[in-house]
Amino acid sequence: MIVTITGMPGSGKTTVGRLLAKKLGYEFYSVGELRGKWALERGMTIDELNKLGETEDWTDKKADEWQVEIAKRGENAVIDGRLSFHFIPNSFKVFLTVDPDTGVKRVYGDKREDEKTDDINQLKKDLAKRGESDVLRYKKHYGVDITEMHNYDLVVDTTGMKIEEVVERVHEEFRKRFE
């Protein structure tokens, strides 16, 4: 079985994915981390890679093929990726939301390698642009709108929740449906 997790920046996708995978005894994969690595290897930010992806589809297609291959192997896995729900339709599909200001504060606090600003207001603008770019690219390349909540089996607003509470909420719903 595969659990796919997507959501808004700072909603906890990767952290929840890692912890849920550990709790289930599943493998964990992050499409965002893979794409971030590709951007750094090319001397780019993730936002620059996304902008390139608006005209060159390889920036997404290569990552999409990677996650489809994971699904074909038939292993139990948790995959954190914006379009994972689309490419792995038989997965348990989770969308994590968060108040945008809370999400920005979380991302700012993480100080990830692919976030190259010390200005929280600039980061807020960058994350908003990233979201717009994602929606544009995914509609253009796949005809998919990741913001349509009917695509998901579970939607969780993580704004006022501790990470452990989010993991437990997802795990509980997963168990109800599949165990």
Q: What is the pLDDT of residue 55?
A: 81
DSSP 20: H
Residue-by-residue pLDDT tens, the chain, 179 positions: 999 999 988 899 999 999 999 999 999 999 988 888 888 898 988 778 878 877 887 877 888 899 999 999 999 999 999 889 999 999 999 999 999 888 888 786 665 544 555 677 877 787 777 777 777 878 888 899 888 999 999 999 999 999 999 999 999 999 999 87
Q: What is the pLDDT of residue 14?
A: 92
Q: What is the pLDDT of residue 47?
A: 78
Q: What is the pLDDT of residue 111?
A: 58
Q: Where are the domains of the chain?
A: 2-165
**What is residue 77's three-state secondary structure?**
strand
> What CATH architecture applies to the domain 2-165?
3-Layer(aba) Sandwich (3.40)
Phi, psi of 55 (to 5 degrees): -115, -25
| H/E element, 3 | strand 2-7
CA–CA separation, 91 and 156 (whole Å): 17
Q: pTM of this prediction?
A: 0.83
